Structure 1
Amino acid sequence: MTDDLRLSIAAELERARARTALLTDAVDDDDLTRQHSPLMSPLVWDLAHVGNQEELWLVRDVGGRDPLRQDIDELYDAFKHARHARTALPLLNPAEARAYTAQVRDKVFDVLDRARFAPESRLLDGGFAFGMIVQHEQQHDETMLATHQLRSGAPVLSAPPPPRAPRSVSGEVLIASGRFTMGTDIEPWALDNERPAHPVDVDAFWIDAAPVTNGDYLAFMDAGGYDDPRWWSERGWAHRNQAGLDSPLHWIRDRDGWLRDRFGHIEPVQPDEPVVHVCFFEAEAYASWAGKRLPTEVEWEKAARWDPATGRSRRYPWGDDAPEARHANLGQRHLGPAPAGAYPDGASPQGVHQLIGDVWEWTSSGFHGYPGFTAFPYQEYSEVFFGGDYRVLRGGSFGTDAAACRGTFRNWDHPIRRQIFSGFRCARDA
């Protein structure tokens, strides 16, 4: 079992690094060092930061080895420097960043060869520390993918289109009232904010069978939704006016309708795809216009995990097996959401589709710890964000890797953010 775990960890480390290389090798050094948006770090910062976190946790902490580049720790501490200020730092140049991350990775494989995955070591039980680093790199890969979406210039990324839907999916699904188990105690790589498992009583509710599509959202726009304060919260309306919102990010008005810029490709907006690049306030306004609301985080997880036949909570909507290509649109396999209904094998027992992959889904819930929460292995991963001005997003996107996405995984961001691959679905009381 230990050898199998070691091989599995090595494969996940290599897979994450291959994706990092694809995203950073796709552009020249000028693009790597440029700041494409004040919301995002230069790509070269993300590259070296990934290596620095690996060195801190796996080489120094788990491996007990001497530092390779202790002098750069502060440069790549995400809490020390705001993203918009990172281009002014004396960062490693692209060649230095690549050499550094490669040197760290060599040390990490040496540490992995000698690691003992003993239950008495919380960092190593189930390979947690390695899994944390795999997820960290994949999360930064998704961040770098979002940076690619914000860059100007000729397209540099390509991928096959997502599958077509064998049948369209629309309407709502009733989720019965009752208790279910939220969170996890058994997922070996689950992060601290996913723990502990705890029972939650939930009233019956209706939830959309699929994420809100571009066609759905266009109906809201055509009905004057962006111009009618009735549908917006007070904060949302103030932000809509201040930011001049009138459509999802990256949409372009054309005389014949709407186009979108997707990684440098200008193409018509597809009505059957989930809407993406909308902020919480836009999602909230649409839901209000539709006579619904956003689901709570608890409702979202019950819809995604609860099996009414057994009463237990699954790892994923389709069961406990790891995601395959037939289940969900994950891992940058495609460069956009798939049409609603494209993954019938990934639906929940009640018939809720695409809860995993395609678009991160805004919920109405703020970010907080579960009852009995304990920060591990450091407070800055989750705890320092509790109670702030954040909303929880669930389910992952087409840019989220399977290693960093499961039925219990929690993401969070400010309600004004829409450079992320964010969409939503609606709910209402039963």
Structure 2
Amino acid sequence: MGEVNSVAKNPLKVAVAGLGTVGAETVKVLQKQANLMAARYGRTIKVVAVSARSRRDRGFAMEGIDWYDDPVQMAASADVDVVCELIGGSDGVAKAVVEAALAAGRHVVTANKALLAHHGVALAKTAESKGLTLGFEAAVAGGIPIIKALREGLAGNTISRVYGIMNGTCNYILTTMRESGRDFADVLADAQRLGYAEADPSFDVDGVDTAHKLSLLTSLAFGTQVNFDSIHIEGIRHVSATDIAFAEELGYRIKLLGIARKTASGGIEQRVHPCMVRKDEPVATVEGVFNSVVVEGDSVGRSVSIGRGAGAGPTASAVVADLIDIVASRQTPTFGIPADLLEPLPVWSMDQHVGAYYIRLMVEDHPGVFADIAAALRDSNVSMEAVIQRGRSPDEVVPVVLTLHETEEVRLNDALARISAIAAVVEPPRVIRIETL
């Protein structure tokens, strides 16, 4: 009986900044599972303060919860142990909330990948200097506990590569394009109507969201400083239904992947772009709004995780997981090793990338055009693997699809410049990297 009373009298007091879908769901989960968590961990987790832009009903009980109009004031002055920052954005109010909470000696849990991608190392140093937790399991693939896996479960491995599908919006669009034969703009509009894509989808479809997440996984996997600016980023706007159909014919699926790996020279490459992957690869089978993260380590081999990467439930689940670590007094450095020991990320140029490529050209179907294309590849020292040419009648524009053997990207770019100069090539070449996984 005395133990039960001590649990009731000593809850972990939490403030939640931001009551959007994730913030509201986090409060609901904590209220719903209060008894279960108390039984499992010997201490309750209680939301005692919240802040949002309006006081409308969010579907949870407000009894015993203080309201703050100013989230920064709440982070600095509320009587709490932890501040959950669920506002979003790389700067502004979100950054001020986290800084105020750490300055006041409060643990922080956040789902804000953009904030950590740009300021993660500095915030981690502040937290660690004060003996505080900066938890961000919810920032990457919410339904997959990949942060904990890299920081703890796979800590005994030397990681060689981490990659995956990290944006459910893009994966939904590419899946629907393949299944329906419709083009990007049409499917994007549907995704917006269904709530899978934002009104302004740029961060998602242009690869920025994936890059934010990749920068954090890179730091955890390789002990490097977070360096978002060094990531090569391409989105999926240029992927057409035609490309997806040709990929199927060639035995591939197109996925937007974030990839980080150690190079032979000792550097680390980080890149986000559409990839053609063999249909039998695990990531090729991940469809719709699901995410998948693959880690390759010297002891574990290949570890594949699949789950929902976004949405209220999965993200709130990850937020609560970080709170439970605080309740259980499980504390590790933010990025796996002390922030002061994170090494600068070696600069890696995309020109150094070596790989195979898919190229689609739209050409006027004249005699000799293919010979001109072959000559351009030859002059750039690029070797063709296969070609699909479907001419129908003279003077008609037709697709010519090439797959290339592995080559350096700098040579590929030279070949593309030569091909683009051919008069019969009527559109810029469409290029998708073929990824060996």
TM-score w.r.t. the length of structure 1 is: 0.25
Q: Which has the higher contact order (CA 8 A, sep 6+)?
A: 1
Structure showing greater radius of gyration is 2
Give 1 or 2: higher strand fraction: 2
